[in-house]
Amino acid sequence: MKQIDNLSRDGPTWYRITIQGRLDPQWSAWFDGLTIRCDGDGRTVLEGPIADQPALHGVIKKIRNLGLPLLTVTPVDGDETA
């Protein structure tokens, strides 16, 4: 597994969060502007910069409150954000 060096730097960290179920992209504003896309396997990926750990926990809490199973939370480096 590749080490991500940007977790301790100043500024936001880019995350890719995968949940089970389909979430309409219209929820993007509620998820602080994260990009929302559904894949063909019944999963939804939320992706984008998250300011810090408290903000990440806030996103995870919103997912939990919607009753959607959280599958992965992955910090990604700039080369993987395309």
Please state the domain count of the chain: 1
Tell me how far apart the alpha carbons of residues 17 and 60 are, in angstroms, rounded to a whole number: 9
* Cα gap 38→46, rounded to integer Å: 9
Q: What is the DSSP letter of 32?
A: T
Q: Give domain status of residue 6, yes or no.
A: no
DSSP bridge partners of 74: 16
Give the pLDDT of the chain (82 residues) as one tens digit per residue: 444 554 556 789 999 999 999 999 999 999 999 999 999 899 999 999 999 999 999 999 999 999 999 999 999 986 565 5
CATH number of the domain within which 56 lies: 3.30.70
Question: C-alpha dihedral over 36, 81, 53, 55, to 10 degrees?
Answer: -30
With respect to residue 40, please indicate whether it lies within any of the assigned structural domains: yes
Show the domain range for 44.
12-76
| 2 is a domain residue | no
Identify whether 1 is part of a domain. no
Question: How many angstroms separate the first and last alpha carbons of the chain?
Answer: 19
